[in-house]
Amino acid sequence: MFSVIKIASNTLPERYNPSIFNYFYETYPQGFIIAEIAHKIVGFLIAVKVKPNIAKILMLAVSKQHRRKKIGTMLLNELYKKILKENITAIELEVRTDNTTAIKFYEKHGFKIKNKILHFYQNGEPAYVMRKDIL
């Protein structure tokens, strides 16, 4: 868990209480996916089930030195495999409106911007809600 927390603190602007990672793993372990290279964690994805048929990606992060190697894509594909077994028909997420790299990544994977939430993040920045229907 320490490696996941370290990647989150090095790559994500939000600051999370470390106990939240254990909480997400314990409540929905199939949504807690890690990527490893040579037995070292280099990325992770955390998703939760918010409705019987909808999952939400809460965090997706890849260490800076391992970006642009399709690790984010592999994490998403692994999530799809796991949630298809649970009759999930859509995945949602929030992303900073100025995070064009992440927005392009998600759009490349079939997510579409559905709406905007003002003052979503701790620092008051807005977010786009993105969604992908998978069935």
Give the predicted TM-score (pTM) of the model: 0.91
**pLDDT greater than 80 at residue 29:** yes
The tens digit of pLDDT for each residue in 1-23 reads 889 989 988 888 788 888 999 99
Looking at the predicted structure, is the pLDDT value of residue 99 above 80? Answer: yes
CA nearest 30: which of 16, 54, 13, 47?
47
What does the pLDDT read at residue 38?
Answer: 92
Rounded to an integer, what distance in angstroms lies between the CA atom of residue 121 and that of residue 133? 25
Give the model's pLDDT for residue 128. 97
Helix (DSSP H) and strand (DSSP E) numbers for the chain? 4, 6
Reported as a single tens digit per residue, the pLDDT across 72-87 is: 999 999 999 998 888 8
User: Where do runs of H (alpha helix) occur along the chain?
Assistant: 2-11, 19-27, 71-84, 100-108
In the chain, the domains with their CATH numbers are 2-133 (3.40.630.30)
